[in-house]
Every structure is written in C-alpha cells, then in structure tokens.
C-alpha cells in the first residue's frame, strides 16, 4: 500500500442519505414564513403521523435524538433496579439506563443474529429485574416471541432499541409494533435521518400520553405542569428533513440492496471474509454491510485490515468494539460481567462494517473489495513489513 490513499475523498460508514434538496429547502422556507420553529409545530405533527402510518402503529412521538427517546421511554415505563441488555450494542443503550441509576445487566448474544440470546437471559433475572431491553442489530430483529414469553413469565416490561431496524419486519410485521414500545434513532448515520432525531413508537395509549408529557417538561396545556419532564422535543427543521427523506425511503433501500449484492459478489471468494446474511422472507433495510474476519483464514487480524482500509481513505469501523461491559463506567462498576459473554467477546474481535448508502458507487465497492482481496493475498508480506516497522 502506498502513501497516497486510493480514495481521494473518504468513504464513511454511515454517510448520510439526503433526499431532494430543493424539497427540503422549500419546507424550511415554509417553516421560516410561519415563524413556528419548535414546540410541536405542524411539520413535526406531519412527520409523526407519517411515521405512525408507515409503521402501522397508533402513536409516534418524535424526539430530539434517539438517546433522549430511550431515556424518556425508560422513565415513562417506571423502570428501576436492573434491566437486562446486550453488551454488543452502541453504548447509548447502556448509558440510557445507568444515567437514571438503573443497572444494565449484560446478557450474551446469539452467535448468528448478534441479538440477545434468550437461552442465556434467564440466568440474569433476579428479584431486582424490572425489564428486558432488546436491540434489533444491523436490521435483524431479536427473537421477539421468545422474549415476549420470558417477559410474561417473569412479569417484566419489554422494550426495544430499534435504532438499526426502521423498515425491517419480524414475521411479516414492521418493527415498531412490539413490546411496550420501540425506540428509533433518526441520527444522520441511519437509513432515515432527520439530521438528528429519534422517536418512541407504541400502541399503548396511556404510555404515549405519558411520553408526550415527559418530552415537554410535563406541560398539559398552558402554564399547567402535571408531571416531571424534560425537553425531548424535535424541532421543525429536523422534521422537515425527515419528511424529505421519507419521500425517498424506497430509493435509499434500493441502493442499499444493490450495494449489498455487489459486496456479496465481490467478497464471496475471499478466504476468511464472511458477509452477514438477511432473512429473505422478511423486509430489511440492508443499511449495514457487516463482515466477520476470520484471522486464521485471512492471515491478518480484523484490526489490521481496518487500519489498512482507513489508510486508503475507506473509513471502515469496528462495531461495537470492545463491548459496553469493557467501557467506563461499566468495566469498573461490573468487572465480572465479561465472564458470561463468550459470544460477545468473539464477535467484538471479528466484526467490521464497510461503507454503503447513497454516497457509495459500484466502482467504490469494487475498489474496497480489491483492497481486501489484496491484503488477504499478501498477508504474510504485510505482516513482515509491519513487524519491521514496529522495530524501528
């Protein structure tokens, strides 16, 4: 690999999808003309209605971001004590609990789906457990039926972090319809973005009412506060971006599917590189190009492969390295948590996510896979050069 990167412009994991710019700017002009910028304006209401209709749920409450949405959902459900979560997730999932002095109890994942392993879950249930917080990872839903059964058996609340799973289905039904509620992120890196944002979706009328109070300081009408709350509101410009991108949602998914197929074809003959698969009976957004790197077959570690790609301006990522339980404050608070997470440890060492989305062209994918193919083919020489450099 030379000093001059192969890609002059960096290719990012999670590069934003952007719909029609003129439509977005037109919506922003309307917002400015109305001079109604936030506080449950008409654009936010339209966005909430469109999301609820698209998912087939009764309620969508738009939020300023997905993390605040999680925190408000947790508080609205009156969770306390301990909540069972995967460690293999973005750290915001755990933080949303710990921030409210609720202990995240880390459960191992299923080796194939990367989601909570129901067979491991009961080991973690104690008298202090109040809920299960599942994460639909890379658009692949949890084993929802089994988690439902476990939550009923032990009288626990069940909710989901669905940040990766907008537009995905479980047994033919769109994610958003399960548990007490589900939480989406509409961060810039997600399939559907509102620049920054999130939402709680639910079919529970009383929960939706409570969430709406809590995201607006507990106001129930002018000068009438009836509940403790915070400021979780989405503003009008964010909602305008969301509506603009909803109009192009199908094309975003089509691009992702095209890219996935291109990667699948280009990577299939490279030893030690395995692209994750999606259930063809279900809808998926294909928003994540996730590969497992088997160092025994490739001759190079996942970390070295990431470093080489990044040197070529391909900004691949290790997800979700090193696992929440190895981050602070959790590795200090719960130092023995890792002993029950063998699959989490294994996956954290192997997973790499590659760029996709509307900013990635077919030629880009050919070049990315060519780099990976070359690294694996020349692995012995690359490792020799790396050892020589480390001695200098």
**Does the CA dihedral 320-325-327-330 come out positive or negative?**
positive
Q: Are residues 83 and 33 in the same domain?
A: yes
In a domain, 2, yes or no: no
| The pLDDT of residue 164 | 98
Residues 226, 275 within the same domain: no
Instruction: State whether 216 and 352 are in the same domain.
Output: no
Domain membership of residue 10 (yes or no) is no
| Whether residues 277 and 142 fall in one domain | no
Q: How many helices (H) and strands (E) does the chain have?
A: 15, 14
Domain boundary (194, 217, 246) is at 246
Residues 193 and 290 in one domain: no
- Residue 5 domain flag: no
Residue 42 lies in a domain: yes
* Domain identity same for 153 and 187: yes
Strand-strand pairing, 181-185 and 173-174? unpaired
320: preceding bond cis by omega (within 30 degrees): yes
pTM: 0.94
Domain boundary residue, one of 214, 246, 278: 246
From CA 366, how far away is CA 85, in angstroms rounded?
37
Question: Token digits for 302?
Answer: 């996942």
Q: How far apart are CA 317 and CA 131, in angstroms?
A: 31
Domain count within the chain: 2
Regarding whether 163 and 119 lie in a shared domain, the answer is: yes
CATH number at residue 187: 3.40.640.10
Evaluate whether residue 16 is within a structural domain. no
Q: Domain for residue 58, yes or no?
A: yes
**265 plus 216 within the same structural domain:** no
If asked whether residues 208 and 104 sit together in one domain, one would say yes
Residue 151 lies inside a defined structural domain of this protein: yes
**Residue 139 near residue 257 (C-beta atoms within 8 A):** no
Per-residue model confidence (pLDDT) at position 3: 60
> What letters, b where the CB count within 10 A reaches 16 and e where it falls short, cover 234-266?
bbbbbbbbbbbbbebbeebbebbeebbebbeeb
Give the SS3 label for residue 269: coil
Q: Kindly state the tokens that stand for 99.
A: 């921030």
Q: How many CA atoms lie within 13 A of 247 on its CB side?
A: 14
Q: Which residue has the tokens 């603009």?
A: 244
Which pair of tokens denotes residue 291?
């590969």
The edge-to-edge listing of strands for the beta sheet with 289-293 is 273-275, 289-293, 351-354
| 12 occurs within a structural domain | no
The pair of three-digit structure tokens given for residue 158, joined into one six-digit string = 């069940």
Q: Are residues 210 and 282 in the same domain?
A: no
Across the chain, which has 392 residues, the per-10-residue mean pLDDT values are: 71 93 98 97 98 98 98 98 98 98 98 97 97 98 98 98 98 98 98 98 98 95 91 98 98 97 96 96 98 94 95 95 97 92 97 95 95 91 70 66
Could you tell me the CATH number of the domain that includes residue 268?
3.90.1150.10
99 & 198 share domain:
yes
- Give the tokens for residue 333: 């608070």
How many residues in total does the chain contain?
392
The domain in which residue 67 lies consists of 21-108+115-246
**Contacts with 212 (C-beta within 8 Å, 6 or more apart), sequence order:** 61
- Domain identity same for 122 and 265: no
Structure token digits, residue 35? 């001079």
Is there a contact between 88 and 325 (Cβ–Cβ < 8 Å)? no
Domain boundary residue, one of 246, 263, 292: 246
Q: What is the largest CA-CA distance in the chain?
A: 71
Quote the pLDDT of residue 122. Answer: 95
Give me 247's structure tokens: 């109009």
Cβ neighbors of 208 (< 8 A, separation 6 or more) are 58, 59, 61, 200, 202
């Amino acid at each position: 690999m030379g000093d001059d990167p192969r890609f002059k412009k960096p290719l990012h994991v999670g590069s934003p999808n952007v719909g029609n710019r003129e439509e977005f700017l037109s919506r922003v002009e309307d917002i400015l003309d109305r001079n109604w910028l936030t506080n449950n304006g008409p654009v936010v209401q339209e966005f909430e209605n469109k999301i609820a209709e698209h998912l087939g749920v009764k309620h969508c409450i738009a939020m300023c971001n997905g993390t605040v949405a999680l925190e408000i959902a947790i508080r609205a459900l009156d969770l306390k004590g301990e909540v069972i979560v995967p460690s293999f997730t973005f750290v915001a999932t755990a933080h949303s609990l710990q921030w409210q002095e609720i202990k995240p109890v880390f459960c191992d994942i299923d080796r194939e789906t990367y989601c909570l392993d129901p067979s491991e879950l009961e080991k973690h249930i104690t008298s202090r457990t109040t809920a299960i917080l599942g994460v639909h990872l890379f658009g692949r839903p949890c084993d929802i039926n089994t988690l439902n059964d476990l939550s009923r058996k032990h009288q626990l609340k069940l909710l989901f972090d669905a940040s990766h799973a907008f537009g995905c289905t479980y047994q033919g039904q769109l994610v958003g319809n399960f548990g007490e509620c589900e939480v989406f992120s509409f961060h810039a890196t997600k399939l559907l973005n509102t620049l920054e944002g999130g939402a709680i979706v639910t079919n529970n009328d009383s929960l939706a009412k409570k969430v709406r109070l809590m995201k607006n300081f507990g106001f129930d009408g002018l000068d009438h506060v009836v509940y403790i709350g915070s400021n979780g509101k989405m503003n009008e410009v964010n909602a305008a971006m969301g509506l603009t991108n909803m109009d192009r949602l199908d094309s975003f998914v089509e691009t992702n599917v095209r890219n996935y197929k291109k990667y699948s074809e280009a990577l299939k003959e490279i030893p030690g590189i395995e692209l994750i698969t999606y259930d063809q009976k279900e809808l998926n957004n294909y928003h994540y190009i996730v590969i497992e790197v088997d160092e025994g077959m490739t001759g190079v570690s996942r970390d070295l492969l990431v470093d080489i790609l990044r040197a070529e301006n391909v900004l691949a990522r290790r997800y979700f390295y090193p696992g929440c339980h190895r981050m602070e404050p959790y590795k200090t608070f719960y130092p023995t948590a890792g002993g029950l997470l063998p699959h989490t440890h294994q996956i954290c060492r192997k997973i790499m996510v590659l760029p996709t989305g509307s900013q990635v062209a077919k030629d880009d994918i050919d070049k990315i896979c060519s780099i990976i193919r070359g690294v694996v083919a020349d692995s012995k020489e690359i490792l020799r050069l790396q050892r020589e450099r480390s001695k200098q």
